[in-house]
Amino acid sequence: MGFLDSLLGGGTGLGPGARAPEFALDDQNGKRVALADFRGQKNVVVYFYPKDDTPGCTRESCAFRDQFSDFADAGAEVIGISSDSVASHKKFAEKYRLPFTLLSDPGGSVRKAFGVPSSLGVLPGRVTYVIDKKGVVRHAFNSQLNPAKHVAEALGVLASLS
């Protein structure tokens, strides 16, 4: 994490070795998705992002989209979470052809449970977690300014888990 990122809200909340908080939220199609759905079956990459269809969030989500087959090949599920509505997520996913799950966390309770820091005290942070099949955080990465690096970080960790 660079100097500017640390000024914008450094830290990752939960770190490696922590148990990921359980959650169940609605996806862009209104379907309930729980972290427990993947336990014992897949590693999960959860990325928290500030807002649908903004420049940095679009870059980050499209980077996950562009390397989605690499995540699938690694046996991992990709899940994006923001406080935007189900309808906003549906529009965002369709506009950019996002092939993965976007979850709506309207009150920010899941974001808080993970301890995702705010940027400048007001903007929702941008943190990615790699969670193993047992529900343990294996890696956490925070960068508000380098959205695409979240993908490279997550893929690197997944390669070490296989």
Out of 35, 45, 57, 131, the active site residue is 57
pLDDT beyond 70 at 5: no
Are residues 30 and 142 in contact, defined by beta-carbon separation less than 8 angstroms?
no
pTM of the model: 0.90
Is 57 among the residues known to form the active site?
A: yes
Angle between helices 149-161 and 55-66 (to 10 degrees): 30
Q: Percent of the chain having pLDDT more than 90?
A: 69
CATH classification of the domain holding 74? 3.40.30.10
Structural domain range at position 62: 3-161
Tell me, what's the pLDDT at 134? 96
How confident is the model over 81-101, as pLDDT tens digits?
999 999 999 999 999 999 999
How confident is the model over 63-81, as pLDDT tens digits?
999 999 999 999 999 999 9
Q: Provide the domain count of the chain.
A: 1
- What's the CA gap between 7 and 151, in Å, rounded? 22
